[in-house]
């Protein structure tokens, strides 16, 4: 059962709701059924890092050597 984000057309509040196919969606603030499903952004995290320093190749010149300058991961914009 997915969780969706909704906005009420009557009172303007936004809320999330765990939705089953048979559920009627009503505003949790005012009870109105004039609600619209919002397009929610999702977040993805790939890998892990113990450091907040940018990942740069040895050719970066900034002393970092994890080798990601060519992948667009370098925070030095070069």
Token match 């970092």: residue?
A: 64
pLDDT of residue 12: 95
Please say whether the beta carbons of 14 and 7 come within 8 A. yes
pLDDT of residue 37: 93
pLDDT of residue 78: 46
Please say whether the beta carbons of 4 and 14 come within 8 A. no
Token match 């914009």: residue?
A: 77
pLDDT of residue 19: 87
19-78 pLDDT per residue, tens:
888 889 999 999 999 999 998 666 666 665 555 554 554 555 544 444 445 555 555 554
The answer, yes or no, to whether residue 6 has pLDDT greater than 50, is yes
| Best CA proximity match to 2, nearest among 36, 28, 40 | 40
7-23 pLDDT per residue, tens:
999 999 999 999 888 88
């Amino acid at each position: 059962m997915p969780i969706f984000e909704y906005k009420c057309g009557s009172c303007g509040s936004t809320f999330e709701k765990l939705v089953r196919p048979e559920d009627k969606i009503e505003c949790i603030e005012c009870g109105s059924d004039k609600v619209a499903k919002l397009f929610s952004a999702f977040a993805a995290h790939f890998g892990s890092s113990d450091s907040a320093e940018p990942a740069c190749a040895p050719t970066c010149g900034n002393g970092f050597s994890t080798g990601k300058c060519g992948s667009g991961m370098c925070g030095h914009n070069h």
